[in-house]
Amino acid sequence: MSESYTASFHNGGMEKDGIDLSGRKRKKLYQACREHNIRDPKYCDKQEHIVKGGLHETWIDIPPKQAYEQIFGEAFREYNSKQRKKERQFNTYWEKVKKSAVLVPVREALITIGNCEDGFPDLEVGKQIYKEFLEEFQKKNPNMVVIGAYYHADEMRSDGKDGVIKGAPHMHLDYISVAYKCDRGQKIQNSMNGALMEQGILNIEVDPEVAEKVYGLRKKPRRRKQNATLEEVPLSERLKCFEKLEEKSEQSEQTEEGEKITKPRVVTNLQQWTDTQRNRLKKIARSHGFEITEKNEKRDHLTTEDYILSKNPNLNHDVHALAERLTNDLKEVQKESADNAEWEKENQEQAEQNAQTAKELEQAKEEHNAYVEQKEYDFKRKEYKLSDKEDELKEREEKVTKKETFLANARKHASESLHKFVQKLKKKKKDVEEKDRALDQMLRETKELSERAEKVNNNAATPYFTFADDINFDDARLMASKRDGKGLCEWFNGLEHKFCGWLQKAQYFAKHFWNKTPDELMIVAEDMRNSYCTDLGEYVEKRMRGNTLSQIQEVREIKEAIPKVQERRKKIRSRNYDIER
């Protein structure tokens, strides 16, 4: 009799909460966890269901970034070079897909023959089945690029009785769905729907009963909350849950009473493709002599922890205990609801009072706002007036500044001009003083010349006599014989005047007739004859008298000019005194 096992192929992987480019949370996606598959110690040491040092093999392992560069690199660079907006440009296609709200960077399929309850084939036979399926998968799915194939036989789980049992060996298949013929955007993209459509798999409409037999019931997966317990949920939230359950039960009852309306069920291409891969796995297992049994268990993928919990035999007891607690909580909620009704009535009255108070406050607020608006209007008017006055003051200040600048320049110019004028007057005063000194010198010389002219005039007035006659020696002898002392004194006093006259005649003669040439003497003789002079003495007397007359005339002119010079000197001195003052 051949061995009988179950065959499982379903999409699984690590559950992650995504965030789109706008920062909003996206739906939960399941994607491959390479750290778990390659048994990275930093990641797997935290997972208790993995046996350290257990059997595990890596058949294919390409890092996702490297795989993305090989598949999408050239197409991405061509598309990215055409983008003009910076927000639509990325460094790599891997980075773009990681930030996407719907795309799964790397998908994962979990393939298992047998289970831990009913048993599983020999390890070597099982590995042979998995390798054959891997080759068949790559051959039949050209749009699903395999970047990882990992064989795990080192996992265990709890048996629900504080013990552990060995988990069934399985294979993780990591792949990237690639659409090579995209009309919009990048030519080659990550798209599961596009990849399946290129492989000829489309969505179809099937009778619900047929779809239920082939693909199972269509229901949403239930996931238990990891971070909250029933006791931590507020009663108000629990009450909302009961309200929703009651609404659903009423809707179901109404549906049962009415006629059943059957609509065709849409079977997606992903469901069809998954079912096809499962059938291929069964075919390969049968080729090795195994009988494949069906448990009729059509469920969505569960995490390892959820699956272990679902197999716990104590689960029904826990459910009944939870239902009892929910019933007690419902009674408490109903009691709280009654209290809340009374409290709501009080709140209604308080709300009416608050509404009246709010109305009064609103009226007071309007009055206050009107008062504030009036004050603001008055303030703005004053502000405008002050602004006009300020502008006027600024204009006055500018005028004063200009006037002060003009006066400062005028004072500076006047000071410079006065300084120049004073320097000029000082220079002029110096010139006048020099002229005054020159006039004083000329006046002194003029006085000396006048005195000399008077003396000359007196000397020239002496009549011409012989020296003996002029001296009157005979009179002197007579006075001496008479012993006339007074007469002799008068005679001697007159000798000085007479000697001066004769001395001048001698000087004139020596000056004009001494060292004369014969020709010059002939000219003098001719002049004597023309002057009717009998001898040289008479000629000298006439010539001296003529010179004396000219000198007398010159002296008279000088005497007449002296008062004018003195008057001019007084005027100059008075002007210098005014300047100094």
pLDDT of the residue at 195: 94
Hey, which bits of 32-96 come out as E strands? Answer: 50-61
**Residue scoring higher pLDDT (324 or 70):** 70
CA dist 477 and 219 (Å) reads 195
> Taking Cα atoms as reference points, which of 75, 41, 54, 55 lies closest to residue 124?
55
Fill in the amino acid letter for 192: M
CA dist 59 and 38 (Å) reads 10
Give the number of other CB atoms < 10 A from CB of residue 296. Answer: 7
| pLDDT confidence band for 315 (50 / 70 / 90) | low
**Residue scoring higher pLDDT (338 or 485):** 338
Give the number of other CB atoms < 10 A from CB of residue 323. Answer: 10
Burial class of residue 189, CB neighbours in 10 A (0-12, 13-18, 19+): buried
Domain boundaries along the sequence of the chain = 4-203+268-312, 449-580
Share of the chain above pLDDT 90, in %: 18
516-548 residue pLDDT tens: 676 766 776 777 667 666 666 666 666 666 555
| pLDDT confidence band for 504 (50 / 70 / 90) | low
> Taking Cα atoms as reference points, which of 514, 581, 509, 521 lies closest to residue 547?
509
The CA-CA-CA angle for residues 104, 109, 115, to 5°, reads 145
Give percent helix, percent strand, percent coil of the chain, each to the nearest 5.
65, 15, 25
- pLDDT of 253 above 50: no
- No. of H helices and E strands in the chain? 16, 13
Residue 291: its H or E element? strand 291-292
CA dist 441 and 535 (Å) reads 44
Q: What is the mean pLDDT of residues 59-86?
A: 90
CA dist 334 and 236 (Å) reads 11
| pLDDT confidence band for 287 (50 / 70 / 90) | very high
Q: What is the mean pLDDT of residues 66-73?
A: 94
377-422 residue pLDDT tens: 888 888 888 888 888 888 888 999 988 899 888 888 888 888 888 8
> Taking Cα atoms as reference points, which of 125, 126, 178 lies closest to residue 147?
178
- pLDDT of 300 above 60: no
pTM for this model (two decimals): 0.49
CA dist 163 and 335 (Å) reads 44
- pLDDT of 136 above 90: yes
| pLDDT confidence band for 20 (50 / 70 / 90) | very low
pLDDT of the residue at 324: 77
327-350 residue pLDDT tens: 888 888 888 888 888 888 888 888
* Matching CATH number, 4-203+268-312, of 3.30.930.30, 3.40.50.2300, 3.40.50.150, 3.30.70.100: 3.30.930.30
> Taking Cα atoms as reference points, which of 224, 87, 110, 92 lies closest to residue 167?
110
CA dist 579 and 581 (Å) reads 5
Residue 157: its H or E element? strand 144-158
Phi, psi of 110 (to 5 degrees): -110, 120
- pLDDT of 142 above 80: yes
CA dist 427 and 438 (Å) reads 17
Residues contacting 453, CB < 8 A, separation 6+:
551, 552, 554, 555, 558
| pLDDT confidence band for 70 (50 / 70 / 90) | very high
Residue that is written with structure tokens 């507020």 in the block: 234
The gap from C-alpha 327 to its chain's centroid, in whole angstroms, comes to 66
pLDDT of the residue at 429: 82
| pLDDT confidence band for 225 (50 / 70 / 90) | very low
441-457 residue pLDDT tens: 877 777 776 666 565 55
Beta bridge partners of 168: none
Q: What is the mean pLDDT of residues 180-197?
A: 92
User: Taking the CA atoms of the chain, what radius of gyration do you get in angstroms?
Assistant: 74
- pLDDT of 130 above 90: yes
CA dist 550 and 561 (Å) reads 17
The gap from C-alpha 258 to its chain's centroid, in whole angstroms, comes to 73
| pLDDT confidence band for 257 (50 / 70 / 90) | very low
pLDDT of the residue at 32: 84
For 376, the token pair is: 């603001």
Share of the chain above pLDDT 70, in %: 63
The gap from C-alpha 45 to its chain's centroid, in whole angstroms, comes to 51
